[in-house]
Amino acid sequence: MTIETLFALAACALIGIGIYGLIAQPHPLRKLIAFNIMGSGVFVLFGALAKRGASAGLAADPVPQALLITAIVVAFAATAVTVALLVRLIEVSGTASLSEPAPCPDRRDQ
Amino acid sequence: MTADAWTATAGGSLLAAIVLLPFVGMLVGLLLGGRWLYRVALGTMPLGLFLTLVIAARWADAKTSFVYLLGNWAPPLGIALRADGAAVAMLVAVAAIVCAIGLFARADFALKPGTQEARSSFAYWLLLLAIWGALNLVFVSGDLFTLYVALELLTFAGVPLVCLAGTSETLRAALRYMLFALFGSVLYLLGAVMLYGGYGTLDIPLLASAVRPDSMARIALALMTAGLLAKTALFPLHLWLPPAHGGAPAAASAVLSALVIKGSWFLILRLWFDVMPGVVTLPAAQLLAGLGASAIVVGSVVALRQERLKLLVAYSTVAQIGYLFLLFPLAFEGGKLIHGPAMHAGILQAISHATAKAGMFMAAGLVYAGLGHDRLVDLAGAARALPITILAFAISGLALMGVVPSGAYLSKKILLEAAEQSGQWWWTAVLQGGATFTAGYLVLVVGSALRQPVAPLSEVKPVSNLSQWAALALAVSSLVIAFVAIGMENTDLIKNPIAPDELGTTLAVLLGGAVLTLGLARFSLLSEPPESPLRRLTMVPGAILEQFDRWVRRWSSATLLLILLTAAFVGLMRVGTTV
């Protein structure tokens, strides 16, 4: 087994864990972490592909690395926005539940 | 695409300008802030519209795609911006709609003299410009990774618009939207990574010439399509749309419903038509359109059962998204997807839906602002109090229904012709029947607004005239859009709107809609007792579909369906191939 195959298998495992978490975990923060695990799986896969694609005599294909950095920044921004939303939700409603709330009397209509 | 998609063409820098302009406006507005912000925003919009019109004029002259190479680096190493006819049409339409939405939002979000700057108004203008810039980037991007970044920008700008009001319901809706969209985008990225691994490039023309119908390409395309469907909120992946679009302020809902979902839809179009026309198969396209047809039925029936106007309009968006996917099986010729009339019809449908739906959300928002509520039961007398608003709603509804000469009409005609030529009669039935559902909620709303109120309406707040006229202008432009599009398609498709057979069709559709409304709506337009046995019987299918919709919109069902759909697409792309 080459090192690239090992990385690809690890990537599959991470993506699988991430998908499971996104489907099964009810808490939004856990969903967000699952998204990050799944994203890391994709990044590992991309890195492994960069190594494999370097048949032109280079140490590694540089394009995936450039794209990866952008993708990581995007995932970081996504995480930050989601955490901000979640913190605000907890501040306003006192709960982090995503399910539709039972109607309460002091609810503002819009 | 031109024969050579990798050399910069004259006028290519206009593409860079139209992408940069909204972001420049956003940064300048951010720096100046306060009362300057909306002035900068409203100043940027006509400038952008002018720029897109210049692009359109030059495109009409040359009839070839524009190409712009960033930093003069050619793909595969560099990044190219490209605009074909579809992209140019969308650029112009989006710029025009953004202008109208900006005028509409002035009443709600422009800072009045002597008031403190509110966070919501500050955020609104910045996010509106960001959405516009991100959409322009989606239309002109020439490679799949830039498209990913553009799509994420679109989501990041769209999500905060949902929760401008800052209440717990809207925050919850925004969070659901964000998490589901993130799931979709990571699936898209996974597909893009696999394509790079297989073919060593993400540039669209390079990829299109290299891609072969092997399992790698199939799985990548299925992942990307499913991820984008989650962002577009095609049934059954629409869990986030009704609370998000129904809860946001009207000026934000109009942007979200008219424009944001079109970004990911356009990307699906790009993938299927430009990147992998040889990989997609007719069965996969049938599944896509089948989901569209179920969206029309479920979305429309649930819309008819809503009690609040804004939620009704949000569910009608769920239904209208379905129409945008009917073109896929009709664009096949000889077993391959081709750039033909069906694809043009799809673009036309998207543009006319965007204009009409923006107008409709604006009208719904004005009704809420005027009456202080948007409960359908208590809408009686609204037509007398807010005549222009209700007129705008009615005209947008007619345009969505596909009355001559609306864009929806022309695109329906083209699709019907394609369905007839390819012998797919079942899509004829969907296309014809869908209009009846649209007529249903049009009759429900306008009928309620036209009723005599029991007690005269006491407190109707005055609403901004500018906002009313902006809504009306969008509605009317959607109704007459066919005249603009006529240059591109067969001119004999447009008929006189008051010719006997056309008038007959319109009346029949409206009548069908009225029957549907009487049968399905939660309250009755006529004052018959609600407990009559016939009515109890007709309520049953609606109630069942509503329960079904509630089940589909649960997080676990929706995410599982997303995975299942991915698998189904992989399977169906294998079925159709002869190898």
What would the DSSP string read from start to end of B288-329? Answer: HHHHHHHHHHHHHHHHHT-SBHHHHHHHHHHHHHHHTTTHHH
**Is A110 within 8 Å of B145 when comparing Cβ atoms?**
no
Query: A15 to chain B: which residues are within 8 Å by CB?
Result: 190
Choose the closest CB to B189 out of A22, A24, A71. A71
Residue in B with minimal Cα distance to A96: B172
**Is A110 within 8 Å of B247 when comparing Cβ atoms?**
yes
Query: B70 to chain A: which residues are within 8 Å by CB?
Result: none
Here the tokens at position B241 are 């749309």
Query: B556 to chain A: which residues are within 8 Å by CB?
Result: 23-24
Phi, then psi, of B68 in degrees rounded to 5: -130, 130
A52 touches chain B (CB under 8 A): yes
Distance (Å, whole) CA B232 – CA B71: 33
Does the global pTM surpass 0.95? no
Percentage helix, strand, coil, to 5, in chain A? 70, 0, 30
For residue A79, count CB atoms less than 10 angstroms from its CB and return exposed for 0-12, middle for 13-18, buried for 19 or more: middle
Residue in A with minimal Cα distance to B75: A63
Percentage helix, strand, coil, to 5, in chain B? 75, 5, 25
What local confidence, expressed as pLDDT, does residue B517 receive? 77
Here the tokens at position B290 are 């089948």
How crowded is residue B71: how many other Cβ atoms within 10 Å of its Cβ?
Answer: 6
B527 touches chain A (CB under 8 A): no
Residues facing residue B332 across a β-bridge? B337
CA distance B242 to chain A (A): 12
Distance (Å, whole) CA B299 – CA B233: 11
Query: B185 to chain A: which residues are within 8 Å by CB?
Result: 78
CB B555 within 8 A of CB A98: yes
A32 touches chain B (CB under 8 A): yes
Q: Report DSSP state, residue B375.
A: B
Distance (Å, whole) CA B518 – CA B526: 8
What local confidence, expressed as pLDDT, does residue A106 receive? 43
Whether residue B405 has a cis bond before it, omega within 30° of 0: yes
Determine which of A82, A83, A97, A99 to mutate to test the interface with B (most B C-beta atoms within 10 Å). A82
* A104 residue type, one letter: C
Spans of chain A, pLDDT less than 70: 53-58, 100-110
Query: A110 to chain B: which residues are within 8 Å by CB?
Result: 165, 167, 247, 368
Buried b (16+ CB within 10 A) or exposed e, B135-146: bbbbbbbbbbbb
Query: B127 to chain A: which residues are within 8 Å by CB?
Result: none
Sign of CA pseudo-dihedral B505, B509, B510, B515: positive
Comparing CA positions, the residue from B438, B308, B451, B463 lying closest to residue B388 is: B463
DSSP string, B508-567: HHHHHHHHHHHHHSSS-SS---TT-HHHHHHHHHHHHHHHHHHHHTSHHHHHHHHHHHHH
What local confidence, expressed as pLDDT, does residue B527 receive? 56
Query: B194 to chain A: which residues are within 8 Å by CB?
Result: 45
CB B151 within 8 A of CB B188: yes
CA distance A102 to chain B (A): 11
B167 touches chain A (CB under 8 A): yes
Domains of chain A with bracketed CATH: 3-93 (1.10.287.3510)
**Is A32 within 8 Å of B179 when comparing Cβ atoms?**
yes
Distance (Å, whole) CA B125 – CA B37: 7
C-alpha of B429 from chain center = 22
Query: B168 to chain A: which residues are within 8 Å by CB?
Result: 89, 92-93, 101
Determine which of A43, A44, A67, A104 to mutate to test the interface with B (most B C-beta atoms within 10 Å). A67
Distance (Å, whole) CA A43 – CA A37: 10
A82 touches chain B (CB under 8 A): yes
What local confidence, expressed as pLDDT, does residue B457 receive? 67
Phi, then psi, of B442 in degrees rounded to 5: -65, -45
What local confidence, expressed as pLDDT, does residue A34 receive? 94
Comparing CA positions, the residue from B404, B268, B410 lying closest to residue B351 is: B410
Determine which of B175, B195, B560 to mutate to test the interface with A (most A C-beta atoms within 10 Å). B175
* B80 residue type, one letter: A
Comparing CA positions, the residue from B109, B129, B127 lying closest to residue B117 is: B109
Phi, then psi, of A37 in degrees rounded to 5: -65, -45
**Is B172 within 8 Å of A101 when comparing Cβ atoms?**
yes
A70 touches chain B (CB under 8 A): yes
Per-10-residue mean pLDDT, chain B, length 579: 66 88 92 84 91 88 83 82 88 92 85 72 90 94 92 93 87 92 94 89 87 88 94 90 88 91 93 87 89 91 87 91 90 79 86 90 88 81 83 88 79 84 84 85 84 72 82 84 63 60 78 79 62 74 86 89 92 71
A87 touches chain B (CB under 8 A): no
